[in-house]
Amino acid sequence: MKRTFILSSLFLTFLLLASFALTAQASPSAQLPQYTTPTPGADGQIIYIVQEGDTCLRIQLLMGVPVAQLRALNKLDENCTLSAGIPLVIGIGGPAGQAPTAGPAPTATPGVPTPTPLPGFASVCILLYDDVNGDSLRQDIELTIADGAVSLSGASGQFSEARPTIAGSDPVCFENVPKGNYNISAAAPEGYYPTTQQTYTLEVLPGSEYYVDFGAQKSDNVIDLPGETVTENRSGVLGIVGGVLLLLGLGLGIYSWRVFGRKPPMQETPRPPGIVR
């Protein structure tokens, strides 16, 4: 009876520890941003001007156009070789609607000093910053992210341009932007996930200056800002603890079986004392 109770308890403990160890290692997947494409021109073609350092994969991530489609529309080779400055057809007939990534909307801040735009035009500056603490608000020590991309596309096709981002503290500025409604988007490089909405609609007025900030954070970020609490991923630690507890439970079960599971040695029935006559 005692042996059955001990083995049943150890089996239940083993199931509980195994479930805990497997659950502790689960982690949420990074969410990827969505983007909109420029409005087609008069001939129905949607054109993208290749920037320095662009690849077909990068254009796919920025514009949402598969690499196979880029090769087919532009008759590119198997390596999808591109040259800076050439026009690239990314679609025909109009942009596909994309759902914006959930999160706080970026803030457009007019009035920040910048080169004065020409009469009838505006200046739009876009900044993709490293949101180290993940609070969706940019601090002065949070610098720009290199090897990303930002784009400004007119809803009526009046202006469309995309540029890469560089490390530092300066935004990417588009000068001489005509009046109208624009779709602004940002694409962080591999290893980052967005902490703010990655698409934004802006109404541009002549003679105005606009700043739009987009935030992204490294997926393995453990940097601590002054006065902030570090957020650590504890799933790996919990998995190790669960494994140790599992081994201890197995060891305890083997020890208990050896100590309590053995039958006592058989004893001979004592004989009655002999009768002396």
Residues 160 and 95 occupy one common structural domain = yes
| Residue bearing the bigger pLDDT, 122 or 26 | 122
pLDDT at 96: 43
Asked if 56 and 85 sit in the same domain, the reply is yes
Round to the nearest angstrom and report the end-to-end CA distance of the chain. Answer: 48
Q: CA nearest 194: which of 210, 223, 214?
A: 214
Low-confidence winner among 11-25, 75-89, 110-124, 174-188 (lowest mean pLDDT): 11-25
CB 148 within 8 A of CB 162: no
When pLDDT is cut at 50, 70 and 90, the band that residue 35 belongs to is very low
The predicted pLDDT at position 277 comes to 38
Residues 23 and 50 in one domain: no
**One domain, residues 177 and 248:** no
Helix, coil or strand: residue 182: strand
- Provide the pLDDT confidence category of residue 71 given band limits of 50, 70 and 90: confident
Residue 150 CA to residue 135 CA, distance in Å, equals: 21
Residues 201 and 252 in one domain: no
Domain range enclosing 11: 2-27+240-257
pLDDT score for 186 = 93
In a domain, 138, yes or no: yes
79 and 168: one domain?
A: yes
Question: What share of the chain in percent tops pLDDT 70?
Answer: 60
pTM: 0.41
Do residues 23 and 49 share a domain?
no
Give the rounded distance of the alpha carbon of 137 from its chain centre.
Answer: 17
193 and 142 in a common domain: yes
For residue 66, is it within any domain? yes
Domain shared by 20 and 142, yes or no: no
78 assigned to some structural domain = yes
Asked if residue 174 has pLDDT above 70, the reply is yes
Is residue 233 in a domain?
no
Integer Cα distance of 178 and 159 in angstroms: 7
CATH of the domain at 79: 2.60.40.10
pLDDT digit string, tens, across residues 41-60: 677 788 888 898 888 888 88
Cα gap 120→133, rounded to integer Å: 40
Does one domain contain both 77 and 128? yes
Q: Is residue 229 part of a domain?
A: no
pLDDT, one tens digit per residue, over 261-275 is 655 555 445 555 544
74 with 144, same domain? yes
Let me know if residue 54 belongs to a domain: yes
Identify whether 234 is part of a domain: no
Total count of domains within the chain: 2
